[in-house]
Amino acid sequence: MKRKSLDEAAALVRDRAGGSIDCAVILGSGMGSTFAGRIDAKPIAYKKIAGMPQPSVPGHAGEVTVGELHGRMIAVFSGRFHLYEGYDAREVIYPIAVAAHAGARTVLLTNAAGGLNRSFSPGDLMMIDDHINLTGANPLAGPLMHGTHTRFVDMVGCYSPQLRELARHIASEYSILMHSGVYAAVGGPSYETQAEAALLRTLGADAVGMSTVLETIAARALGCEVAAFSLITNVLNGNPTTHDEVLSVSHRGAEQIAKLIEGIVANLAIAPAVGT
């Protein structure tokens, strides 16, 4: 991650926002159209952003929309990067670094995940209360990341209690069924065997995916408050899983995630500031 490229990328986002941004949103697989029509702004293609990698997975458009939503200036990244694409941990979290350097202090993450909790069904929404990093990678390893002061970031409570409480309130208000649980991050790209799913359940995981956790680590290191949500696209019960299936369920469930994220953004003013 080059300092010059990061500064240029953050400057572009600030320029489009007319100043600092308040919040960044990362959309998961198949959720790229979630905010269409909610923000009146033209997207910026990733290829125009200095230092930004290019997503290679179907369902990740590779663009960021910067604009106003309910009085908050936000940047919505449609398309993320994964270790299994050949990117390293610093490249995976580049959108988070750009957003933080453009002023964001709230990060909202979404993903498509496999359900491990046997009470979940495809299409269910799970708020992440905690995570297990099984990727074997960490964006804080190596030289000190620009904008951070230590490699040793405390991850207890890494998903903001205040934002989680706000999300529960919004979900109740909009009659959105939302579970909560533990997300396990693995390297992928192959889906889990039955034995691996059983092991993850034993570890206490309710859902499993190939993203989000490295972004959360970076966001916390950069001083951002984080909330994250998994759309359960398949339940690991011994039946085969395909990426097309994941995208199909993501498309169908994207609207409830959009309502939830929009409600959180609209009420960010009532969420306590970082460190309170």
Q: Could you give the residue numbers annotated as active site?
A: 29, 60, 82, 84-85, 112, 210-211, 234, 243
Residue 107, SS3 per DSSP: strand
Q: Half-sphere exposure of residue 55, counting CA atoms within 13 Å on the CB side?
A: 25
- Of residues 191, 256, 192, 190, the one with CA closest to residue 229: 256
Helices (H) and strands (E) in the chain, counts: 7, 9
For every residue of 30-42, DSSP letters joined together read T-TTTTTTTS-S-
Distance between CA atoms of residues 117 and 270, nearest Å: 32
- The secondary structure element, H or E, covering residue 265 is helix 243-266
Distance between CA atoms of residues 253 and 121, nearest Å: 12
